[in-house]
Amino acid sequence: MSMNEFRPPLMCDQCEQTSKGRGCMIAEHPGVCGKDEDVQSLQEILLYGLKGMASYAHHARRLGKTDESVSEFIEEALFSTVTNVNFDVDSLLELVLKCGTINLRVMELLDSGHVEMFGHPRPAEVKHGTAEGPGILVTGHDMLDLLNVLKQVEGTNINVYTHGEMLPAHMYPVLGDHPNLAGHFGGPWQKQKTEFAAFPGPVLATTNCLLLPRESYKDRLFHTRVTAVPEGVRIDGDDYGPVIESALRCAPCDDNWVSTSTIGFHREVLLDRAAEIVAACKEGKISHFFLIGGCDGAEPGRNYYSDFAQATPHDSFILTLGCGKYRINGFDYGTHLGLPRLMDMGQCNDAYGAIAVASALADAFDCSVNDLPLTIVLSWFEQKAVAVLLTLLSLGVTNIRIGPAAPAFISPNIMKRLQDTYNLQLIGPDGAADCAASLA
């Protein structure tokens, strides 16, 4: 079910009928058909934000990181969406923004959990492709699953490869330095049907962004916990013996390395060089920063992000995170001041790191984040992206561009309110033109 399909029922305040759509089907009744469209819109935004936040909180909990205030808010916010509880736009908008505030705390917990469990991140050069021999491909977001797989193949000749949002695993020493982690295979989630079919070994899906498999690989698709497809094989607990057995049965990978990339510009890496970056800005050596990332998808219009990135000035830097990175990381942007112009900060949950870096720069310049030479361009597809956007709005960040299309679950009135308050903008048809406009 997509975000555009799900609409929680509301009760018409005249005929007391409920509807799965936006109205009670009686055009003359104002209820849901009129002013309550905005109430429903805010409830939907809140529900999507909660879903995304719960995903991050789940990952953090698996790493031993929890906060009772997070659970308390989830309960309160869900209660607010129950039938006939809240019909007030202002109080619902307040809950929507509070969801963003709480999500920042969740991402902070997850960030610290990753660093404590897997070591302090550092830039790393990653090989893309495969080495000769049996292999296991790990996709999704849960790095604890990846660590457990690596531990269980120690001492064997089985190579483990990351896929999709697992690429940032290579920046953590505990994972990246493991002798069985060989490299990265493939790109974003929407290409997995082709890429999983091309990979000869088993595929382990750890979280969302899993598509129903093709016949050619469904018998070697494994999944964990709530991640599941009818045709896949479920892993019980943390015993990856069936995956390892499958790797030894399947045809081996070929020796086929196709490229390399540099990743790992986690907030710790950038903050260690904050003084140097600030000095370069003050000397006029850095013209602008661009944050281009989010959640990728297959629909038309997403070439906008690669067009935007390629139009950025040569004395600027591009920060990216999430699977949206795959729209822009296939190009050579060169280097500036000894750093690559494109710096991959990690997974979608590493948006916390981008916020921390922006806040540190603002503090150094004694200004707000909105006064920095910073442009934020986000792509979205699912609930995690909504949670991150709400976090940025809750911090008062303005002038964000989102796309590739207007979210169907935001009513015209609510969209106008967000635009009036935060200058939230939809991306235009021309990425290069929008890039030029952001520099004007």
Residue pair 109/116 in contact by the 8 Å Cβ criterion = no
Task: Check the annotation: does 99 bind a ligand.
Answer: no
Q: Which residues pair with 253 in a beta bridge?
A: 133
- Which helix or strand (DSSP H or E) is residue 97 part of? helix 89-118
Does 250 appear as a known binding residue? no
The answer to whether 94 is annotated as binding is no
CB atoms within 10 A of CB 322: 29
| 295 known member of a binding site | yes
Q: How far apart are CA 119 and CA 129, in angstroms?
A: 25
DSSP 23-88: S-S-TT--TTTTTHHHHHHHHHHHHHHHHHHHHHHHHHHHTT---HHHHHHHHHHHHHTSTTS---
Number of Cβ atoms within 10 Å of the Cβ of 260: 12
Per-residue tokens: 189: 């989630």
Strand 135-139 versus strand 159-162 pairing type? parallel
Radius of gyration of the chain (CA): 22
Query: Is 416 annotated as ligand-binding?
Result: no
Residue 281 marked ligand-binding: no
72 is in an annotated binding site: no
Please give the Cα distance from 222 to 233 (Å, whole number): 5
The answer to the question of whether 435 is labelled as a binding residue is no
Q: Is 51 annotated as a binding residue?
A: no
Q: Where are the alpha helices (DSSP H) in 121-213?
A: 143-153, 173-176, 192-198
The annotation status of 231 as a binding-site residue, yes or no, is no
Separation CA 354–CA 263 (nearest Å): 15
29 annotated to a ligand binding site: no
Whether residue 348 is annotated as binding a ligand: the answer is yes
Looking from the CA of 245 toward its CB, the CA atoms found within 13 Å total 8
The four Cα atoms 14, 17, 21, 26 give a dihedral, to 10 degrees, of -50
**Tokens 């990135």, located at residue:** 309
Q: Which residues are annotated as a binding site for [4Fe-4S] cluster?
A: 12, 15, 24, 33
Q: Which residues are annotated as a binding site for hybrid [4Fe-2O-2S] cluster?
A: 141, 165, 209, 295, 323, 348, 382, 384
Q: Which residues are annotated as a binding site?
A: 12, 15, 24, 33, 141, 165, 209, 295, 323, 348, 382, 384
